[in-house]
Amino acid sequence: MNTPRRLTLAAALVAALVIPKAALAQEGAATLPMWGQDHGFSIGLKYLLDGIGADEAENPLSPVIDDIGSGAVVSLGYTFVPQFHVRLSLGGATHQTDFPGLEVNRSVATLDAHYRFMPDRQVCPYILGSLGGTDATADQGIDHVKFTGGMAGVGAGLLVGFTRHLSMDLAGRLDAVNWTKAEWSQDQPGGGSIHEEQAIEESGGSARLELGLVWAF
């Protein structure tokens, strides 16, 4: 005689246990931002336009590297909080010089810190500061030249979300470059090479434009 009542009580008990959990799960899903990243890693691949030129050197034979080169940048980043992101970027570009037939391959490695203004929006502007190093190498026949230095920069960018995980990343930056070492080597017949290096103090500048994709996971 009490079976219907017991079934009713059992159903009420199950509902009391299940419904609040389902509601909490829906509430938690609703609070997740549609765009941006709360925390976690990201990887990126971008096309690079790179302009670099050293100040006029005392030696008129020194190559002038002042053309726009192109290349690529790869990056690995981590978002600590939605507004703050740190990224390790590695890139390279090929430049022409004022020496006919001579190309300069420039590589850069920087540690970038980003501040993002609207991380929960589909379009998110940010500013960045960076520290790192750079080198420029050139090969012409048996002769090889390499310049090495440090760099510091500032810039700004824009993230445009395609999905919660995939975004387009457009960034422009200006770098101050301090060239500190010049190396020269020459291949010798039968193997081996002659190698010389010299400490230098030359300042220069770099302007970079990067466009590509970033995947957050």
* Domain CATH for 206: 2.40.160.20
For position 55, what pLDDT does the model report? 52
For position 62, what pLDDT does the model report? 64
Number of domains in the chain: 1
Please compute, for residue 48, the number of CA atoms within 13 A of its CA located in the half-sphere on the CB side: 26
For position 204, what pLDDT does the model report? 86
State which residues form the domain around 126: 40-216
Asked, for residue 193, whether it belongs to a domain, the answer is yes
For position 28, what pLDDT does the model report? 47
Cα–Cα distance between 149 and 137 in angstroms, integer? 12
Asked, for residue 28, whether it belongs to a domain, the answer is no
Residues of the chain with pLDDT under 50: 7, 12-14, 16, 18, 23-25, 27-31
Asked, for residue 8, whether it belongs to a domain, the answer is no
pTM: 0.77
For position 158, what pLDDT does the model report? 97
For position 152, what pLDDT does the model report? 97
Neighbours of 207 (CB within 10 A): 16
Show the beta-strand stretches assigned E in the chain: 40-54, 68-81, 84-96, 103-116, 123-140, 143-161, 166-187, 193-216
Q: Is 116 in contact with 124 (CB distance < 8 Å)?
A: yes
For position 13, what pLDDT does the model report? 45
For position 52, what pLDDT does the model report? 82
Asked, for residue 18, whether it belongs to a domain, the answer is no
